[in-house]
Amino acid sequence: MAKTKSKFMCLECGYESPKWMGKCPGCGAWNTMTEEVVKTGTANRRVAFAHSAQGKTANKPSPITNIETSQEPRIKTNLKEFNRVLGSGIVKGSLVLIGGDPGIGKSTLLLQVSSQLADNGNDVLYISGEESVKQTKMRADRLGVKSEKLLVLAETDMEYISKAIDDTNPAFVIVDSIQTVFQSDITSAPGSVSQVRECTAELMRLAKTKGIAIFIVGHVTKEGSIAGPRILEHMVDTVLYFEGERHHTYRILRAVKNRFGSTNEMGIFEMKESGLEEVLNPSEIFLEERSKGAAGSTVVASMEGTRPVLVEIQALISPTSFGNPRRMATGIDHNRVPLLMAVLEKRVGLLLQNQDAYLKVAGGVKLDEPAIDLAVAVSIASSFKDAPSKATDIIIGEVGLTGEVRRVSRIEQRVMEAAKLGFRRAIIPEANIGGWTVPHGIEAVGVKNVAEALQITLGG
């Protein structure tokens, strides 16, 4: 008979240890070791594997030049934002992981996608481990889902889930959520490291062998990462995060890993009573409540994958009442704020060492590209001087430590998007001037350094 014993596994990297340790030797993370109960029976497993391997022919290595490939068309849904984030559509045989906070709308999004795929003639199997069939039907009625090709199953046992997939042979499978599914031969509880890893491995085998596109939902921890072992994100083909405030209507679908497309794509949705509706022009949404003529407010064109998005950057500079001034930022890297403030103090002469700085990207968007540096610097100087920049100015550029404004990529798409929304002047790096056609109705002004940019935008 198989014996049971305990071992400790790291949630981040999957490192195994016979005893608990505060720091994982594999990845160096603290307090990530969790206890797992496992069965020991390696001898029996080897015998079973030997019997199963009899009669099979091992695959032989072959030159990569002799391997034939075919370009399969991607399956598209009616949500263009969803298609873009996936890389222009769903790939057959792919395994997609969608994570997000509780109540953010993951199940609603996947049920809408399932309905659209079923309406297009595809067999879809929706497996719910958290809701009953009647509860899923109630959500489907609210969303207007009526396709007969959408099959619903409430099950958590991986053995029965595999059997249901074999019997129905669907083209798409949705598992909501992976933390509720379990393998009966593993003694640990559902949602544990072993259960999540083994169940995901089984779903990956089904996806690759049968050519089924499988979507799995993952819960998110309080730190914002997907619950379970970090190896879960390495196993799947695509990892999507569904972000946004629960009390606001806008949701952002962002790709952080994609083997079939860009990892910088972002889709914007609006949550309504009838479900999620895509926002085709997010720049208008992010700028519709902008206060014109307010000091500390600038607009920048940031690239999210292949799409330029115009967002507002707000800065508030005020004298500090503490020994050490505060530096806080929402939506951008907080380490970038003191760096740019040091450049303004050293290269421009602004006395900011006794000022508190608060920065925010309006709309809940997170920006991480260097092209927003110049807009952040102008926002800080604008708030410090209490001198607003022009409402029709858009500011783009990377700032170096010597105060120079460096070249950015895809400047033509950025300026073209600004021209569509009525901006009249674009402050861009001088190195980006020339080699492209400036759109009608907007003026492109090149700057060499931060001081020159402040002179043009703020008048000194």
pLDDT of 274: 85
Domain 285-458, CATH class in plain words: alpha beta
Torsion of CA 283, 106, 172, 201, to 10 degrees: 120
Cis peptide before 379 (omega within 30 of 0): no
Taking residues 104-131, report their average pLDDT.
Answer: 93
Q: Assign 51 a pLDDT band (cuts: 50, 70, 90).
A: very low
pLDDT of 44: 47
| Residue 105 annotated as part of some ligand binding site | yes
| Residue 411 annotated as part of some ligand binding site | no
pLDDT of 224: 54
pLDDT of 445: 95
Residue with the larger pLDDT of the pair 260 and 50: 260
Does 73 have pLDDT greater than 50?
yes
Q: What is the CATH number assigned to the segment(s) 75-280?
A: 3.40.50.300
**Crossing angle of helices 450-458 and 373-385, rounded to 10°:** 50
| Residue 364 annotated as part of some ligand binding site | no
- Percent of the chain predicted with pLDDT > 70: 91
Span 207-242, pLDDT tens digits: 999 999 999 998 776 555 565 556 678 889 999 998
| Residue 104 annotated as part of some ligand binding site | yes
Span 134-182, pLDDT tens digits: 999 999 999 999 899 999 999 999 999 999 999 999 999 999 989 899 9
Does 30 have pLDDT greater than 50?
yes
DSSP 86-155: HTSSBPTT-EEEEEE-TTSSHHHHHHHHHHHHHHTT--EEEEESSS-HHHHHHHHHHHT---TTEEEEE-
Q: Which residues contact 68 (CB under 8 A, 6 or more apart)?
A: none
| Residue 261 annotated as part of some ligand binding site | no
Q: Are the beta carbons of 230 and 12 closer than 8 angstroms?
A: yes
pLDDT of 222: 57
pLDDT of 43: 44
| Residue 103 annotated as part of some ligand binding site | yes
| Residue 100 annotated as part of some ligand binding site | yes
Does 71 have pLDDT greater than 80?
no
The closest of 366, 328, 138 to 245, measured between CA atoms, is: 366
417-445 burial string, b = 16+ CB within 10 Å, else e?
bbbbeebebbbbbbebeeeeebbeebebb
pLDDT of 58: 63
pLDDT of 265: 81
| Residue 129 annotated as part of some ligand binding site | no
Domain extent listing, the chain: 3-47, 75-280, 285-458
pLDDT of 370: 93
